Amino acid sequence: MIIYSVTVSIDANIHEEWLKWMKEDHIPKVMDTGHFIDFRILRLISHKGEEDGISYNIQYECESMAELHKYQVQHAPALQKEHTDRYEGKFAAFRTLLEKV
């Protein structure tokens, strides 16, 4: 099992609108690609203040690296562009891959 993990720090003043959009629009579009079997969205907990942003981690589960690669080639560029166009300058993101052992 491969976990495609996306961590996003979003400006605190828009995080509620962003989270609503992620839950109602973006994540359903990612799941509708058919390459993932499950997802979870988590809020990072930190001892530091959140004046610079609030961070979330979205984890998408897929069966194999081949499925992830198909998603990255066929769907990720357009979905990432849509996110960037909507929230440009208001977020920072990084992606990691994990393997369930």
Domain edges within the chain? 2-99
CATH for 2-99 is: 3.30.70.100
What lies within 8 Å, CB to CB, of 37 at 6+ separation is 61, 62, 63
The per-residue pLDDT for 34 is 97
The per-residue pLDDT for 50 is 56
pLDDT tens series, the chain, 101 aa: 999 999 999 999 999 999 999 999 999 999 999 999 999 999 998 756 556 679 999 999 999 999 999 999 999 999 999 999 999 999 999 999 999 99
The per-residue pLDDT for 53 is 79
* Maximum C-alpha span of the chain: 39
Distance in angstroms (rounded) separating the CA atoms of residues 66 and 46: 34
